[in-house]
Amino acid sequence: MGKWRYGVILDAGSSGTRVHVYRWLDNARARQDDDSGRLKSLPKVKTKEDWTKKIHPGVSSFASKPEQIGPDHLDGLLQHALKIVPDDAVKETPIFLLATAGMRLLKNVEQQLLLERICSYIRSNSDFLLPDCDLHVQVIPGETEGLYGWIATNYLLGSFDSPGEHNHGKDHHTYGFLDMGGASAQIAFAPNATEAEKHANDLKLLRLRNVDGSSREYKVFVTSWLEFGVHEARNRYIKALQAASGAEGIKELPDPCLPNQLRTTMDGEIVSSTTEPKTCLLGTGKFDECLRQTYALLDKDAPCPDQPCLLHGVHVPAIDFDVNHFIGISEFWHTTHGIFEIDYKDKAYDFNTYQERVKEFCSQDWGSIEKSISDHQLGKVDDHKSAYELCFKASWIINMLHDGIGIPRVGLEDTKGSGHNGTKEVLSHGKNKGFIGPFQPANKIHGTEVSWTLGKVVLYASSQVPPADGEALPVGFGSNMPGVPGDFQYPSVDRLARPDEAKEEVHGEHWHDALFAGDSPRRIPGILLFIFIIIITLYFLCGRTRRQRIYRKLGTLFHRRGSSQHHHHHHNKKSGFLGGKLPFTRRNPPSYERVLEDGTRDFELGNVASDSEHESERHSDSGSPSGRGLKRTSEWGSTPTLMFGFDNGSSGNAGLGINNLPSNGNMDRTGLVVRTESRDHLSPIALGPTTNGRRSRATSPARPNHVSPIMTPLADD
């Protein structure tokens, strides 16, 4: 094991898949640090900008062609990761493909087929560590995605390791997390003490582990809104426009969320002079009307079975914005800052400034916007589609933030011509109090991109730390209850790191290395186990005839060597090689005697050497108390022969699972033997008390007057 540990995460989103490579210091090396503060911190996970690569489209687009997802989609991502991870670390490097909202919209059958193809391709085309497909290649719920994002945000801001520097008041030091992609949106935060107690059953218990093996726990609320991402919200908006038109055959639908005079298809493609769709959208550029129509998409009037709710009838504990300060990533960042990056230098979000800039942009004619794109005046927006989508996205973000989640509208005061800069005031407010305002968009923190994938790796790296003395609870998350709840989610198949890993690093060792590596402590016992498995395999493959020859030769050999000393062990001669020591080496497995209650048939399961020999064994224990014969077979130590009573009708056969038995004669000696005997031949010792020739069976002491329909083992007097 080298100095560094690595992890590979494939974020399979709705619009594309992005591979992230992370690394952290091996725990044995990290514990050599003399700084006690660092030992009390989480593992330091690092990444680089060029360790990330994204390709389009998303994995969900391969639902109709799953056989192509490997060569056409995954191959380039795997090759990128293999260039970064050192060759000698690949086998120890876990890989995860975690799909989000795009895959959640597919049917279960389509999901499973894609996931199976993905796992098979990764295993066949790389040596990355992938011990369990169900854990490493899966569609994660929105709640899990939100919790990973919450971990990543607080990890980068330092609120985990330095809570004193992030005191928001009321003994609260963590930040809330907001994320919006194309298909879904997530929220995660730790409620204040009052709400946490009131809604304890709604919280997730998260457990992490420091470098020194000590644990830390957090109680977080997290939920997700499917179809509340920008693309799915846009689809719902278009359907609402069509429904509101109320008439068929309309060629143009006015759309206030598109720039004035822009015409697009219902799918969002710009209509050119050569294309004439049946119905198109005509932009009017009325941003206020756009805000009003997108507000309806929040579904604020939906029934709320579990109060309180924010939107769409989804329960969320009350948010205390005095202590709950949110970081927004993905669309919350790109839509509020991406297009205005050149002249919008201040990174803080202030509602009034942002809304004024969006309104000014969306009121322009489409021709003016096209010219701005050509002159590179729109920041990172260099294509027409991103430009005309901005108006809808901006209105949706504003409604989600302020009318949906309820974030205060910072900077509401008028800024036109007053020289007052609300954004700078927000920045100053954050610096003075040591924390930012109620909402802050972010793309990077301390040079590292904020991504939920980082939270997944932090959780995994934490789980690889050996627990300190007395620390036995695993790393992961689940329902908010003590111990390990039934729904507890482990970062990987390794639920608990071994306590001796800090002394000797053997974690991740492959079976072939453990068996044959020169310095492995498992080498000798591993080789012996391997040889034993080979012997057992050859034993079963050599065939019954050859085994019998071997028995006779070995039996003769052992008999000659030990006949002068072991005459008193007469039963061992019949047992063959090793007799009763190893039951599976006998030719005849132990027979189980079953006695009919009514009738004269005696069913015996297993092989018997001869009827006479079996009868002699059955009555050999004449010295048992009360004259009851109870044979203990030598091949099973002290296990008594079991005798089962049942009626002679069909119900008895059904109870044992035996059907259509022959009325006379013996079956093959390896199977069920059927022997017909007279009533007089069955001795009273074996049968016990009788009544009119029938066996009288005592009732169960636990259940009086009830007879088991299947079996009644004889008691060992």
SS3 at position 24: strand
Question: Strand pairing partners for 365?
Answer: 260
Pure H helices in 228-330: 230-245, 287-295
Write the DSSP symbol of residue 563.
Answer: T
Q: How far is CA 626 from CA 493, 616, 618, in A?
A: 57, 19, 16
SS (H, E, C) 373-416: HHCCCCCCCCCHHHHHHHHHHHHHHHHHHHHHHCCCCCCCCCCC
Compute the distance between CA of residue 11 and CA of residue 56 in angstroms, rounded to an integer: 12
* Token pair of 336 as six digits: 């509020």
Q: What are phi and psi of 700, to 5 degrees?
A: -65, 130
Determine the Cα angle at 693 with ends 692 and 696, to 5°. 80
Question: Cβ contacts of residue 116 below 8 Å, gap of 6+?
Answer: 133
CB 589 within 8 A of CB 583: yes
- Look up residue 117 and give its amino acid: R
Q: How far is CA 71 from CA 65, 76, 203, 562, in A?
A: 12, 8, 41, 68
- Look up residue 236 and give its amino acid: R
**Residue 615 belongs to what H/E stretch?**
helix 611-618
Q: What are phi and psi of 388, to 5 degrees?
A: -80, -15
Q: Is 345 exposed, middle or buried (0-12, 13-18, 19+ CB in 10 A)?
A: exposed
* Token pair of 538 as six digits: 């050859």
The catalytic residues are 145
- Look at residues 410, 399, 476 and name the one whose alpha carbon lies nearest to residue 180: 399
Q: What are phi and psi of 605, to 5 degrees?
A: -95, 130
Compute the distance between CA of residue 397 and CA of residue 331 in angstroms, rounded to an integer: 8
Compute the distance between CA of residue 366 and CA of residue 362 in angstroms, rounded to an integer: 9
Compute the distance between CA of residue 544 and CA of residue 532 in angstroms, rounded to an integer: 20
